[in-house]
Amino acid sequence: MSSAQGRRTRKVQESRAAMANAAVDLALTHGLDQVTVETISDRADVSRRTFSRYFTGKEDAVVDALRVDYARINTALAARPEGESPLTAYHRALRNWLDDEPTAWHRLPRSADLLRLLHEEPSLLPAYLRVQDEAKAASVAIVADRLGLDAERDLRPALAVSLAVGAFGTAVRFWIAPGENGGLPHLIDAAFAALADEPAPRITTAITTTTTTSTTTT
């Protein structure tokens, strides 16, 4: 990539981040109902036309910061050593993100507020699910490549990612819940430890006893 291309890419990323940050700030301060595309554009100092090049609506802008975070997690996942199992690799990718990324969720108070808002505002759910689905599909592709499997024909990569994402999501739900539930890194570690410690299901064999009653005719 040339230096000119690099500058254009950075400018695009900076413009998108400015609009996403403006959307989150406004939604958390005033409530999503009071936020419009115009107010986001004004806050980010861009035109409505520029906003529309990046986002289909205010909901997409509000959840865009999470898209960036999931991309960072997947970058860390792709960099994990080949010998690690999918669950271990995903867990350690999360820890790399938590430990090394200055904008990881537990370092920014507004991240928890944003995640709570996603659960309180039904109109945000479709945009959030699209972000999650895209990130999950990318994770499946990474895991399939690590295992040398075809993700379209073998269910193991998708299953491993579903378990990992489920552990991550459960930890996040406990983290944003009222009360003192522990820090996000601790909860993520606990969730993955619980997966590792899950006992195999006990198989019970049903025994059917048939009693034959003999009738003697005299």
Three-state secondary structure along the chain? CCHHHHHHHHHHHHHHHHHHHHHHHHHHHHCHHHCCHHHHHHHHCCCHHHHHHHCCCHHHHHHHHHHHHHHHHHHHHHCCCCCCCHHHHHHHHHHHHHHHCCCCHHHCHHHHHHHHHHHHCHHHHHHHHHHHHHHHHHHHHHHHHHHCCCCCCCCHHHHHHHHHHHHHHHHHHHHHCCCCCCCHHHHHHHHHHHHHHCCCCCCCCCCCCCCCCCCCCC
Distance CA 184, CA 149 (A): 32
Contact between 187 and 174 under an 8 Å Cβ cutoff? The reply is yes
Q: How many CA atoms lie within 13 A of 109 on its CB side?
A: 2
Q: Are 105 and 184 in contact (CB under 8 A)?
A: yes
Structure tokens at 20: 């996403």
Say whether pLDDT at 207 is over 50.
no
pLDDT at 20 over 90: yes
- pLDDT tens-digit series, residues 92-131: 999 999 999 999 999 998 999 999 999 999 999 999 999 9
pLDDT at 214 over 50: no
Query: pLDDT by residue (tens digit) across 156-179?
Result: 999 999 999 999 999 999 999 998
Q: Is the pLDDT of residue 27 over 60?
A: yes
Query: What does residue 175 show for φ and ψ, rounded to 5 degrees?
Result: -65, -40
Contact by Cβ (8 Å): 68, 17: yes
Section 199-218 average pLDDT = 48
Contact 144, 71 (CB under 8 A): no
What pTM did the predictor assign? 0.84
